[in-house]
């Protein structure tokens, strides 16, 4: 197996290699709340309406940044600035000079390993579409 992520920098990767780094956990799709006074970010268990929770895939991936203005596209240029990305995120790990974990599909060779590891949001996420006007996102804070 070609372990390109160990041989290339993030900047050297092709678009296909870059996209394959995403483990499909969808933790970046969890809605975050920012404390206006401290700037602290809190992650909720609520995900964007376009996330197919069981598959942890965006149903509008190619249009996501247009349809959801807060959806940030992770690029080779901005990855080192995205401190809020999950600590398990392959982009963040590689930007910090760390290795990919054993459960990452590129390492395990199996797409389902992300779900088996418990890292994927499929086991606990709630779609924002399931919330009503009386719901308070603060009630869904998980960290």
Question: In the chain, which residue ranges form alpha helices assigned H by DSSP?
Answer: 4-7, 15-20, 64-67, 90-95, 105-108, 113-116
pTM of the entire predicted model: 0.88
Show the beta-strand stretches assigned E in 10-94: 30-34, 41-47, 51-52, 57-58
Q: How far apart are CA 19 and CA 110, in angstroms?
A: 16
In this predicted structure, what is the pLDDT of residue 1? Answer: 61
Note down pLDDT in tens along the chain; length 143 residues.
Answer: 689 999 999 999 999 999 999 999 999 999 999 888 998 989 999 999 999 999 999 999 999 999 998 898 898 889 888 888 899 999 999 999 999 999 999 999 999 999 999 999 999 999 999 998 888 999 999 97
CB contact set of 102 (below 8 Å; sequence gap of 6+): 108
In this predicted structure, what is the pLDDT of residue 39? Answer: 86
Q: How far apart are CA 2 and CA 131, in angstroms?
A: 43
In this predicted structure, what is the pLDDT of residue 68? Answer: 93
In this predicted structure, what is the pLDDT of residue 72? Answer: 82
């Amino acid at each position: 197996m070609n372990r390109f992520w160990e041989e290339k920098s993030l900047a050297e990767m092709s678009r296909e290699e870059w996209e394959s780094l995403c483990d499909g956990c969808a933790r970046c799709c969890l809605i975050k709340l920012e404390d206006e006074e401290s700037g602290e970010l809190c992650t909720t268990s609520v995900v964007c309406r376009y996330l197919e929770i069981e598959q942890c895939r965006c149903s509008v991936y190619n249009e996501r940044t247009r349809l959801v203005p807060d959806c940030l596209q992770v690029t080779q240029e901005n990855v080192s600035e995205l401190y809020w990305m999950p600590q398990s995120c392959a982009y963040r790990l590689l930007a910090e000079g760390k290795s990919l974990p054993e459960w990452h599909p590129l390492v395990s060779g199996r797409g389902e390993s992300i779900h088996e590891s418990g890292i994927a949001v499929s086991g606990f996420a709630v779609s924002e579409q399931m919330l009503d006007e009386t719901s308070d996102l603060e009630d869904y804070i998980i960290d």
